[in-house]
Amino acid sequence: MSQISLFKHLILELLTSRHDERVPEPDLVMADPAQAEAFRVAGREDGVIAPTYLFHTLQLSRLIKPGDVVLDLACGPANQLAQVARVNPEAQFMGVDASESMLALALATVQRFDLQNVRFEARYIQDLRSVPNQSIDVVMSTMSLHHLPDEATFTATFGEAARVLKPDGALYLADFSRLKRESTRRYFASQHAEQQSEIFTVDYLNSLRAAFTAQEFKSAMQVFGGAVRFKSTALVPFMVVVLRGPQHPVPEATLTQCAAIYASLGQAQQQDFNDLKRFFGLSGLSTPNFTGV
């Protein structure tokens, strides 16, 4: 991304006092196969979301231990889930999503990588009635919570996650935070327009309009107790993370796999990863290092 344009938008965000009203996603469940496919393509390791997925994979790999049961809320086409499961093969993963179109793509994703440690369930993430109380070691969700229709459902989802999480379980919930200015949202949605489909660009903009505010995240996360932490990108909370649990050294094999994924990215994608790493690092969320970065 252009550093000058980026910082211009960040400064204008800082100088703006009020948020625009939230605009929920036009389609709360991404059932349209064309939309689901556009999202899947953008999330492949050669897609525009790949740097974000790699960042979250490294963060999650500090929370996941061998033998853990990991629940992914709104797993979508499982690009993120498959990557985390690949580099943490001794953990078991369950992806939950309400969209049958997404789950069909998710199944194809794990089959492509021949993953045996992932299963799926069709369910709304604010209603995890099939998951027993305090049965999950790690609850994760990446870039999906903005699909929820309203703040009440958002809060209910946090409550369900807290219910199924073990008392000493780990938590990693990452998503966009609602920006204040429409021009900033349009900038982020279209910065890689030449590398992504028009459908994805429109969906990206809708996602930014539907994001919850940093304050709404901070209010909802109180259900996880005093050990929960809130982190965001520095200067402006374009992206936020709610996390809990001790961080463990990432196994060398996992770091090697992540290094290979990073090396496969294009130059612009590597720059996006480095930007994300830097902006979260400035707010106190470090990223495990691997050779070459």
Per residue, the 3-state secondary structure of the chain, as one string, reads CCHHHHHHHHHHHHHCCCCCCCCCCCCCCCCCHHHHHHHHHHHCCCCCCHHHHHHHHHHHHCCCCCCCEEEEECCCCCHHHHHHHHHCCCCEEEEEECCHHHHHHHHHHHHHCCCCCEEEEECCCCCCCCCCCCCEEEEEEECCHHHCCCHHHHHHHHHHHHHHEEEEEEEEEEEECCCCCHHHHHHHHHCCHHHCCHHHHHHHHHHHHHCCCHHHHHHHHHHHCCCCEEEECCCCCCEEEEEECCCCCCCHHHHHHHHHHHHHCCHHHHHHHHHHHHHHHCCCCCCCCCCCC
CATH code of the domain containing 7? 3.40.50.150
Residue 210 covered by a domain: no
pLDDT-based confidence at residue 34 (cuts at 50, 70, 90): low
Residues 6+ apart with CB under 8 A from 77: 36, 39, 40, 43, 102, 105, 106, 109
The count of structural domains within the chain is 1
The larger pLDDT score, comparing residue 183 to residue 196, is at 183
Parent domain of 131:
3-184+216-236+254-281
- Percentage of the chain beyond pLDDT 70 is 91
Q: What is the mean pLDDT of residues 43-69?
A: 89
Token pair for 59: 């963060």
Report the range of poorest mean pLDDT among 13-17, 121-125, 196-200, 235-239. 196-200
Which pLDDT belongs to residue 156? Answer: 98
Which pLDDT belongs to residue 293? Answer: 55
Q: What is the mean pLDDT of residues 116-128?
A: 97
Residue 27 covered by a domain: yes
Which pLDDT belongs to residue 261? Answer: 94
Residue 190 covered by a domain: no
Residue 122 covered by a domain: yes
Which pLDDT belongs to residue 117? Answer: 98
pLDDT for residue 238 is more than 70: yes
Residue 194 covered by a domain: no
Residue 11 covered by a domain: yes
The larger pLDDT score, comparing residue 106 to residue 42, is at 106
Which pLDDT belongs to residue 29? Answer: 55
pLDDT for residue 256 is more than 80: yes
Residue 197 covered by a domain: no
Q: What is the mean pLDDT of residues 24-34?
A: 66
Global pTM reads: 0.90
Residue 164 covered by a domain: yes
Mean pLDDT (the chain) is: 90
pLDDT for residue 2 is more than 90: no
